[in-house]
Amino acid sequence: MKKTLFLLLFFLSFNSLAQSKQVIDSLKAEISKVKNPESLVSIYHQIVEGYLNNQPDSTQKYTDLAIKLSEKTGNQLLIAKSYLQRGNYLQDRTKFDEALKFYQKAVDIYEKENNKSGAGRTYTSMCRLYKRMASAQNVLSFTKKALSYSFKAIEYLKSVNDNAGLMAAYNNQGITYRDLDQLEKAHEDYLLGLDIAEKNHIENTYTGILNANLGQYYMDTKQPDKAIFQLNKALVIHQKLNNLSAIEHANRNLSYAFRQKKEYLKAVELAQKSVDISKMLNDPHRAFNSYEALYLAQKDAGMFKEALESLEINKTLEDSTVRAEKTKGVAEIETKYETEKKEILIQKLDEKNQLQRRQIIGFVIGLALLLGLLVALYNQNQTVKASQKKISEQSEQLKLMMKELHHRVKNNLAIVSSLLKIQSSKIEDEKAVQAIRQGQQRVEAMSLIHQRLYQTDKVTNINIKEYINDLADSLMSAYGHTPDDFDLKIEVEKEQLDVDMAIPLGLIINELLTNSFKYAYEKVERPLLNISLKTNHGLTLEVQDNGPGIDMERWQKAKDSFGKKLIAGLSKQIGGTYELENKGGSYFKLQIPQEKLKMAA
């Protein structure tokens, strides 16, 4: 069935492919006749535009030729356009760091030459780039940066009446507003772009894309019939222009729209088309998205066996595309354009002597071993799913497997903790012993979280109140205290937290409690420890002991303190700000804004 559908799609697209090939072949035939280098570069640019959405290898070849020849001519506008096209090609290959370099070169030239159309179109591409990075990494600052570039693009393009460029700019601004959940602003931008197309009788790629995104708006607002109407309009335009990537996108969204109408078999048919086109394009990112649509449609249609197969392919593609996309070029981009600098969370321990260096290396090897075990566990998990023959309750089985995954992660962390404990018993250097033991405590704190995850039905949430109680009881016992001689007060208003927020927050709490038990109670007759986690326009963590307090001057000068760096780095990771002071003992307060909690949810 799949093979037949794939062949049908191939033959349906053959005529439009042939027409496009004729145009490109005629341009190629002109290459040998043209003697003027600048005219030859213009031909290369036209060929790239014909290839861009369908044939990445040919696009790469002709952008290379255009860049080399345009740089030889010295024509700045030809050079800038070559850089812009190369950036667009690299962005579609998810090579974001390289794409940004070419966009920056292009926009510098266009602004220097006062070419507002070129600068506006480049800023439009930069808007799309930052929007994609924001979606991949869930980084709000990137979304806001994308929006700032769209404002620049529209300002430039309006000033020179570049209508085609404005259509693209309004489209990218609209999808950026959609990511910010500002649907009405997105709707307004789509309509502005389509109004330009209608008034100026423009039917290009962005006419189709704007119709498709307007259909997406209607899906978001639960109006599937309107969505299907707009998406079919987009599909007709994309087919005329032979834009296979846009055809894939339209079919995928049509599948979602028919799922809203509960016409599941039609949704399966459209999602299968999307999958087959992504194979023709050899685009793993699109294949990942289209297999997700196919899996959801098959599951709703009761095709559980096929749904499981599609889900397995989707998860395999996730490893090779989405996870790679989330990490590509982020460090270079953040430092070069000063968006958000990430502080390194874990740095090397002070290498004062050879013995300590060996222990640090051993610790890194242990973490690498843990990573290897997790990868092996993931692969094993996939194999188990592939071997299952009966699919009756798909969601329950997936939940069970996630609980098993957390169980095994907890066991592997316990192994690492044991290895560190054994290693510390063989070390004579006291500083190295302390460093290893602190690492062991942090591993055990993470282990508690995964233990909680496999003991509950909510595999992505954790009961942070129970976790704090377990952690405090464990540390109290480890440092020789009992409930009879220790005043422990724990107050938690928001008990359930997403695991992405719970893990760093748990490590911060572990660090603070460990410091209190180590340093605060040596001369205190009746130890006291207050731990509070409240919801107040976000989340507020407070930890206070009744010890002698912290030496603030020493704390400020302790630049190499691993604990201090860990608390600062984790606080920044979850978007929080903290303060430390003496207030009847050491007092720590961490505040996390509400929007950061939504991003983690």
**If you average pLDDT over residues 358-371, what whole number do you get?**
77
Q: List the single range of 3-17, 20-34, 397-411 with lowest mean pLDDT.
A: 3-17
Report the pLDDT value the prediction gives residue 8, as an integer from 0 to 100. Answer: 37
- When pLDDT is cut at 50, 70 and 90, the band that residue 351 belongs to is low
**Distance separating alpha carbons of residues 246 and 473, to the nearest angstrom:** 57
Q: pLDDT tens digits for 506-533? A: 889 988 998 888 888 888 889 999 999 9
**If you average pLDDT over residues 11-34, what whole number do you get?**
62
DSSP output for 98-121: HHHHHHHHHHHHHHHTT-HHHHHH
Q: pLDDT tens digits for 165-184? A: 999 999 999 999 998 999 99
Asked if the model's pLDDT at residue 120 lies above 90, the reply is yes
Report the pLDDT value the prediction gives residue 177, as an integer from 0 to 100. Answer: 94
Strand 538-545 relative to strand 586-593, pairing: antiparallel
Q: List the chain domain ranges.
A: 25-98, 348-459, 485-601
In sequence order, which residues have a C-beta less than 8 Å from that of residue 38 and are 6 or more positions away?
73, 75, 78
Q: Is 593 helix (H, G, I), strand (E, B) or coil?
A: strand
Q: List the single range of 225-229, 371-375, 473-477 with lowest mean pLDDT.
A: 371-375
Q: List the single range of 10-19, 212-221, 286-295 with lowest mean pLDDT.
A: 10-19
- When pLDDT is cut at 50, 70 and 90, the band that residue 396 belongs to is low
Report the pLDDT value the prediction gives residue 2, as an integer from 0 to 100. Answer: 40
**Distance separating alpha carbons of residues 117 and 161, to the nearest angstrom:** 9
Q: What percent of the chain has pLDDT over 70?
A: 74
Asked if the model's pLDDT at residue 17 lies above 50, the reply is no
Is the pTM higher than 0.75? Answer: no
Fold classification of 485-601 is Heat Shock Protein 90 (3.30.565)
Q: Which two tokens stand for residue 522?
A: 């040596």
The residues with which 586 forms a beta bridge, in sequence order, are 582
| Measured CA distances, 275 to 168, 250, 394 (Å) | 26, 12, 22
Asked if the model's pLDDT at residue 348 lies above 80, the reply is no
Rg (C-alpha) for the chain, rounded Å, is 29
Report the pLDDT value the prediction gives residue 341, as an integer from 0 to 100. Answer: 36
| Measured CA distances, 74 to 38, 96, 230 (Å) | 9, 27, 45
